[in-house]
A and B are shown apart, each in its own frame.
Chain A
Amino acid sequence: MNSSGLQDRSVVFGGIIVVISLIFIARLAHLQLISSDWSNYAGQLTEERETLDPMRGQFLDRNGELIVTNIASYDLLVTPRNTKNLDTIALGRLLGIELNELIRRLDKAAAYSRYVPSVLEKQLSAMEYAKISKELMLFPGVRSRTRSIRSNVAGVAGHLLGEYREVDRADMKNDAFYRLGDYKGKSGLEAKFEKELRGVTGARFHIVDVRNNVQETLNELDTMPIPGKDVTLTLDLELQKYAEKLLNGKRGSIVAIEPETGEILAIVSSPFYSGNSLTGKRRGLVYDSLRLHSWKPLYNRALRGTYRPGSIFKMVQGLIALDEGVISTSTVIECDRSIIGCHGPHTADDLTNAITHSCNPYFYEVMRRVVQRGKSENKLEDASLGLSNWNLRIKEFGFGTNLGGHIPGTRMGSVPNSEYYDGLYGKNHWGYSTIYSIAIGEGELLTTPLQIANLAAIIANRGYFREPHPVRDIGGLGKPEGLDSLHNMSVPSRYFDPVVNAMQNVIEDPHGTGSRARVNGITICGKTGTVQNGDLEDHSVFMAFAPRDNPQIALSVYVEYAGSGGDWAAPIAGLLIEKYLNDTVANLAREERVITFEYE
């Protein structure tokens, strides 16, 4: 019938069909199994994901008092692909936005995504929102979203808590958690504990039709938001408030630590600002005014201010000298004012009196003995070896370190070592006579108010400190690990007695420089410091702890350009100690004097 040649052609035809169907199946596999592009695109077209923001964790004080919480505000969102026939002129009028600005924002939103809602106007207060809410439905593609904003209800500790504000491009790129218009902690504790505070976002899924009308909700995919964890701070809200009140109108800082635990009880840098002033629509204006102010309110003096420690440093010198065995508690050194000046009518002191009198020649000699140990024939090399040892011992007290860095923004200050002077003068080109000013806390030494408060804690504890930290508890899980690492000084605790005695004398001696810190019924130990500023007024510095036995509070007070340590820092310290230990302040005259302080 058929020639077999033609019949074979059925195989060719069949083969073509099989090849085509295999191509189709391969294409199906590519579209459906291998590539997720088309599936994602379909999701983009049909699914609308509504993000449910979690409540951000709150900040509480050590007693559970509320410091920072969240209050409702309203954002207006725009979904660009739904804005057909949007009356931009009417919308601009309703929102009080210039037309050009409104169009710029709409373009920005469209550039970000046509499908994902973007923020058009943010943080309307409940009052503002109430005015416009009724008319909002007239504008297609525009809807509102309730969003909580930060409210520092206590109005304190702006520096420590830091800023909570809108994410930038880099934030969104680094962490998919954030979308345009989201907020995050940008500095301070808000930033440090961002992951704990922010919680987990929930989502509600809708399916939309080709005209973007919501058609159904996919409940099985929905997730509820998980609120952020509350952070309990170590701050004592009353003390913090009082500290801010006392420093108001002054430049300076206060750091108060619970000596036994290293917990920060109060930390103030003045001038300060309320955390609330940096939220909301006016943030930009407020920020600029803070940035440009000559007193630098954004600068956290408590952590970042570096000052020469002055007389306060003499106690550390004495403790190290005792432990090095170059003096004993009874060693008396003549007040030889030929090399270095002194003040007051003393002629020769032991350690306690030398601290009380703040005797410069005494500590010149003490540090000379520490540094010049005769370990080398060459005097200059001997000084270099001695200084290296001294440097390590000073750092043990936390100077030149960030003290664990548990408070964001902590600076290290500086404690010079041999290499530092080698760099300055050349190796073996300097001796003790070149560097002796550091013996009395001057020269190249730089310390921060936090380090000085920590020194007060070390002396209060007679030889140890726990790293200062601002957090007691996160989400009820207790104190995070590693916050309060223990540091034991190699100076034995018995050597602290003469220092503590001297510090008590500073307060209680009729001629003591810290007598203005005295509080009836509380044995306070303190030490004044006076940081010279050339032609300008000195910085008034005071460190103290109280009570002498079983100390509850250790602190440093700095008042810049205010005079000697006893004049202003000491009474402020006294008031704070009285407030913290007695809950009330009896010495109202002192309080009045401090509060009415004015720079000349």
Chain B
Amino acid sequence: MSSRKYSIFKNFDWTTLSIVALMMFFGWINIISATSNIEIVEWLDWSGKGGKQLMWIFICSGLGYLILNIESDFFIRTSVLQYIFTLILLVAVLIVGKKIGGARSWFSLGSFSLQPSEFAKPTTALLLAWYLSRDSTKWRSLKVRVISFLIIGLPALLILLQPDAGTVIVFAGFIFVFYREGLSGNVLIVGFASLIIAITTILIGVTNVHYPYLGLKSGIGMFWILWVIVGAGAIYLVRELTVPRKRAYLTRWGIASIIWGLLISIGLHMGMENVLKSHQRERIHVLFGIDVNNPDADYNIRHAKAAIGSGGLSGKGWMHGPMTAYSFVPEQETDFIFCTVGEEWGFLGSSIVVLLFTFLILRIIFIAERQRSKFTRIYAYGVASILFMHLLVNIGMVLGLAPVIGIPLPFFSYGGSSLLGFTFLIAVLLKLDSERFSILR
């Protein structure tokens, strides 16, 4: 036992722990500012959010310490159990959960609320690592791929039912894990191309074109027709210009691309028009600068950008941001906490936060790659992917680059569930990493 403890601190990744601790501290500081007026500082008021967050930080420190002292085998062996447990929680929350802000995502426990989807992320990462690291698992097998997608798909589906689109998008981040484990790189290219088609679809979807005999209709129909005609023309040209040996291959790919693009575009357009609620559609339209009738549609993002933009180079100083102090930004201690950073700490402070996240994720990738254990590597990739998706969606949102989708900024946003979830993710990773020399799995 004592030799095991020794090895923990010998091979412990202090860098990661330091970054995380720094983030938690800085996040806490900003939560205090975001929830206080300029005159009244809710320092250690336990009923205030600053005090509660500090309490959560203590609890999370305890949890982290606990995890570091548990046999790492425990997490590997119980990964299936944990996964099933969170699935049960996700089902239960749909039935007995408390509806907050239109989503049934919370268990209400007295004065505290727990969000099971925050725990689904680490347990999914663990199960995926367990499943993919088994010797019998080969990525090339279709069955393995299907099961892998099911592992992330099941909790994602349950979360979608809440509905909590933000967390579902985070689950999409596991694609990077698959990519590392052998998924074709074409998937990323196809994903990127699909994104471009999606943006084009959204932009064209709001235009109106006068069709002969049909009157004024959305320009998207014209786009689909042109897509097929131009695509067919391109395939014909490529066929004519390439050597015969490659023709069949290129034609097959070309036709597949045209159909894929068409499916994405039609599916997205239909989804936008028929599935999304009007406020969700407006959020997406606002993002692309499309004029929406509702003047308050871009209220959040307008105020978020104003708060960040007014920070200037070095910010207005802690507790000195009026946008922050006087509640101009909604959800500013949770999903929009980065606005407080931007306003009070300026370009320097917010860039440092972005760089801290970048460094943390790169560090985790570095940790992943130094593992002999496949389990640890896959798990680490899961952690990196989750953090990356949170960074991408959350900061993209407050900067007006991504639609308004509420997910927390790891270690910064106020909230016990997400802090516990991320602590669990990191602590397990650090535990596994500390044993990288002692165990060969």
Asked if A6 contacts B309 (CB within 8 A), the reply is: no
Q: A21-B357, A42-B323, A45-B323 are in contact. Are A32 and B38 (CB under 8 A)?
A: no
A215, closest chain B residue (CB): B326
Q: Mark A7-18, 1 if CB is under 8 A from B, else 0.
A: 101101110011
Contact for A216 among B39, B328, B342, CB less than 8 A: B39
- Within 8 Å of chain A (Cβ to Cβ): is B307? yes
Asked if A17 contacts B185 (CB within 8 A), the reply is: no
In the complex, which residues 378-404 of chain B have their Cβ closer than 8 Å to any Cβ of chain A? 381, 384, 388, 391-392, 395-396, 399-401
Q: Which residues of A contact B258 (CB under 8 A)?
A: none
Q: How far is the CA of A208 from the CA of B323 in the complex (A)?
A: 9
Of the candidates B185, B369, B372, the one having the most CB atoms from chain A within 10 angstroms of its own CB is B369
- Within 8 Å of chain A (Cβ to Cβ): is B194? no
Asked if A41 contacts B302 (CB within 8 A), the reply is: yes
- Within 8 Å of chain A (Cβ to Cβ): is B98? no
Of the candidates A7, A9, A32, A46, the one having the most CB atoms from chain B within 10 angstroms of its own CB is A32
Q: Which residues of A contact B326 (CB under 8 A)?
A: 46, 207-210, 215
CB A419 to nearest CB in B, in angstroms, measures 64
Q: Which residues of B contact A33 (CB under 8 A)?
A: 312-313, 347
B330, closest chain A residue (CB): A210
Q: How far is the CA of A7 from the CA of B323 in the complex (A)?
A: 46
Contact for B311 among A18, A32, A43, A45, CB less than 8 A: A32
Q: A13-B384, A32-B347, A208-B326 are in contact. Are A38 and B362 (CB under 8 A)?
A: no
Q: How far is the CA of A10 from the CA of B327 in the complex (A)?
A: 41
CB B295 to nearest CB in A, in angstroms, measures 11
Contact for A27 among B322, B357, B401, CB less than 8 A: B401
A46, closest chain B residue (CB): B322
Q: Which residues of B contact A46 (CB under 8 A)?
A: 322-323, 326, 328
Q: How far is the CA of A33 from the CA of B372 in the complex (A)?
A: 45
Q: A9-B179, A12-B185, A13-B365 are in contact. Are A32 and B305 (CB under 8 A)?
A: no
Q: Which residues of B contact A10 (CB under 8 A)?
A: 180, 365, 368-369
Q: How far is the CA of A142 from the CA of B222 in the complex (A)?
A: 53
CB B129 to nearest CB in A, in angstroms, measures 15
B368, closest chain A residue (CB): A10
- Within 8 Å of chain B (Cβ to Cβ): is A130? no
Contact for A14 among B342, B350, B365, B399, CB less than 8 A: B365
CB B37 to nearest CB in A, in angstroms, measures 7
Q: Mark B180-199, 1 if CB is under 8 A from A, else 0.
A: 11100100100000000000
Q: How far is the CA of A208 from the CA of B396 in the complex (A)?
A: 28
Q: Which residues of B contact A215 (CB under 8 A)?
A: 37-38, 322, 325-326
- Within 8 Å of chain A (Cβ to Cβ): is B303? yes
Please give the residue numbers on chain B whose beta carbons come within 8 Å of chain A beta carbons, in ascending order: 37-39, 176, 179-182, 185, 188, 302-303, 305-313, 322-323, 325-328, 342-343, 346-347, 350-351, 354-355, 357-358, 361-362, 365, 368-369, 372, 381, 384, 388, 391-392, 395-396, 399-401
Please, could you name 14 A-B residue pairs with CB atoms under 8 Å apart, sorted by A?
A: A12-B185, A13-B179, A17-B358, A18-B358, A25-B351, A28-B351, A29-B347, A32-B309, A38-B306, A41-B305, A41-B309, A45-B306, A46-B322, A216-B38
Since A25-B354, A42-B310 are in contact, a sample of 15 more A-B pairs with Cβ atoms closer than 8 Å, ordered by chain A residue number, is A9-B185, A13-B180, A14-B362, A17-B388, A28-B399, A29-B347, A31-B305, A31-B309, A32-B311, A32-B312, A32-B342, A32-B346, A33-B347, A38-B308, A42-B309
Please give the residue numbers on chain A whose beta carbons come within 8 Å of chain B beta carbons, in ascending order: 1, 6-7, 9-10, 12-14, 17-18, 20-21, 23-25, 27-29, 31-33, 35-39, 41-43, 45-47, 207-210, 215-216
